[in-house]
């Protein structure tokens, strides 16, 4: 019987390549949406799941390579002399090869990779439809059915809704994420991520299967995804820089975060400052008295300036030093207090004598919520013997220039993610303590206000 078994013809074989690629594409799409599920997995060498993702990502190239193999097989077989079919298959082979190359050699260009896979899928279905028509069928029902099923599944898994979804993320050992020059290896200090994105239809199914999925309507004034992406990337960079400066100061290296003037964030229209001062200016002195931070500016305005006074404002405007005369006005809230009509924040200069290198994990897009634990990790590396005392530490919270730990979003989801690991303690900003305990009642949660609170608790253990 085995000798009489018919081998699959060329058409069946190339369709199998196409279908295999489509199935794998949907597997990767589902894996991207459920990427947090295997997060507790850690290798013996300490490699966490977030690091595995960087390697598993390259497997996505198998999708276009399957399509390339199917198209090339048909081209070389000479199964059809029709120009249209051969043209479509040649285009599919070229596009698929380009998509695979983009995944391997331009991993950061996700938009190009998705565009290449989408273009390959369109050409794939064009090949299937034209092949059925060329075989003499009036209506290519098989290919039409496959296309309809693919589009329906794609809509379920990728069509955005009017809601945002927040769900658990994964931990990352910040002593593997960042390395400071001259530092040691350090212990396990995990930051923790959550995912916050536009919800798709499939998220309702995931939310019914897994805990801690939270859905909220998308605000009408929410910025586009491209703008949001740029913001979170910038916040990650800022958090890294501030964490490095504070950690080095704590370790006796450098001056840390140094106030360097008062930056104007906004100017109130028709106020005394309108036209004289500009957003982005950095105030360095008022009437010759130096100003390094907001508190000093406020003190001068309250104690030495009256409404109607002309104040000489010395400032940095780009690369230039400028003196501007501005008339002070009475505050609407308190007529005894004089104001210019500006919104300000302290400009800081970061003193980081030693270089810090960072690993860019694909799943760690951005945000500042790892700042406090990154500060702790760098202190750990710069302290002989470390600071963890052998404990597995996790935590969340921003790091502010004064060393305080700021509140972050997604605390319940982060607490749940940490509860799935072997963490001995989870540090949270004090404001998020109750939310963390409600989401992970079995987790040892310690609320803190500053990085010194974290260090003090660890020293007491």
List the chain domain ranges: 2-158, 164-254+352-460, 257-351
Fold of the CATH domain 257-351: Pdz3 Domain (2.30.42)
**C-alpha to C-alpha distance for 198 and 209, rounded to whole angstroms:** 19
pLDDT of residue 103: 96
Q: pTM score, two decimals?
A: 0.83
Three-class secondary structure assignment of 375-442: HHHHHHHHCCCCCCCCCCEEECCEECCCCEEECCCCHHHHHHHHHCCCCCEEEEEHHHHHHHHHHCCC
pLDDT of residue 78: 63
pLDDT of residue 332: 84
| Residue whose C-alpha is closest to residue 348's, from 241, 452, 247 | 241
| Residue whose C-alpha is closest to residue 173's, from 258, 264, 52, 289 | 52
**C-alpha to C-alpha distance for 171 and 294, rounded to whole angstroms:** 36
CATH code that applies to domain 164-254+352-460: 3.30.230
Which residues partner with 165 through β-bridges? 197, 215
pLDDT of residue 7: 43
pLDDT of residue 325: 94
Token code pair at residue 267: 């100017």
- Positive or negative torsion for Cα 250, 255, 256, 259: positive
pLDDT of residue 235: 83
Averages of pLDDT over each 10 residues, the chain, 461 residues: 47 82 96 94 91 94 96 77 85 97 92 94 92 76 90 95 94 96 94 94 95 91 75 86 95 91 91 91 94 92 92 92 92 85 89 94 89 97 95 96 94 96 97 96 97 97 87
Token code pair at residue 29: 């799409």
| Sequence-ordered list of residues with C-beta below 8 angstroms from that of 222, at least 6 positions apart, any chain | 228
**C-alpha to C-alpha distance for 124 and 233, rounded to whole angstroms:** 36
pLDDT of residue 3: 45
In eight-state DSSP terms, residue 330 is E
pLDDT of residue 6: 46
**C-alpha to C-alpha distance for 108 and 105, rounded to whole angstroms:** 9
């Amino acid at each position: 019987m085995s000798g009489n078994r018919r081998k699959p013809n060329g058409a069946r074989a190339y369709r199998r390549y196409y279908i295999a690629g489509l199935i794998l594409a949907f597997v990767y799409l589902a894996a991207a949406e459920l990427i947090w599920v295997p997060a507790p997995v850690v290798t013996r060498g300490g490699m966490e799941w977030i690091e595995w993702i960087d390697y598993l990502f390259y497997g996505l190239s198998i999708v276009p390579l399957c399509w390339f193999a199917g198209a090339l097989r048909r081209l070389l077989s000479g199964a059809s002399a029709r120009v249209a079919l051969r043209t479509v298959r040649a285009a599919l082979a070229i596009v698929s090869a380009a998509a695979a190359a983009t995944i391997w050699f331009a991993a950061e260009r996700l938009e190009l990779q998705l565009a290449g896979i989408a273009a390959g899928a369109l050409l794939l279905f064009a090949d299937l439809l034209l092949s059925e028509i060329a075989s003499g069928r009036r209506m290519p029902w098989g290919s039409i059915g496959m296309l309809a099923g693919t589009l329906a599944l794609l809509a379920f898994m990728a069509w955005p809704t009017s809601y945002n979804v927040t769900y658990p993320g994964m931990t990352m050992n910040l002593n593997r994420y960042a390395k400071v020059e001259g530092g040691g290896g350090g212990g396990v200090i995990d930051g923790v991520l959550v995912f916050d994105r536009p919800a798709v239809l499939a998220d309702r199914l995931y939310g019914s299967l897994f805990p801690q999925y939270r859905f909220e309507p998308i605000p009408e004034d929410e910025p586009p995804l491209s703008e949001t992406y740029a913001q979170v990337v910038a916040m990650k960079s800022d958090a890294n820089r501030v964490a490095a400066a504070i950690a080095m100061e704590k370790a006796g290296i450098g001056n840390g975060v140094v106030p360097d003037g008062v930056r104007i964030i906004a100017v109130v229209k028709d106020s005394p400052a309108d036209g004289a001062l500009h957003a982005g200016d950095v105030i360095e002195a008022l009437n010759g008295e130096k100003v390094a931070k907001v508190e000093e500016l406020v003190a001068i305005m309250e104690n030495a300036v009256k409404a109607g006074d002309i104040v000489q404002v010395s400032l940095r405007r780009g690369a230039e030093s400028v003196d501007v005369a501005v008339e002070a006005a009475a505050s609407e809230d308190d007529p005894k207090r004089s104001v210019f009509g500006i919104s300000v924040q302290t400009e800081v200069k970061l003193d980081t004598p030693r270089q810090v290198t960072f690993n860019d994990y694909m799943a760690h897009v951005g945000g500042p919520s790892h700042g406090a634990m990154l500060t702790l990790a760098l202190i750990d590396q710069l302290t002989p013997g470390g600071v963890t005392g052998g404990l597995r530490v996790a935590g969340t919270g921003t790091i502010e220039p004064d060393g305080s730990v700021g509140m972050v979003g997604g605390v319940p989801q982060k607490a749940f993610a940490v509860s799935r690991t072997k963490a001995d303690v989870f540090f949270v900003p004090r404001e998020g303590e109750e939310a963390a305990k409600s989401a992970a009642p079995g987790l040892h949660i310690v609320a803190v206000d500053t990085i010194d609170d974290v260090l003090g608790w660890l020293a007491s253990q």
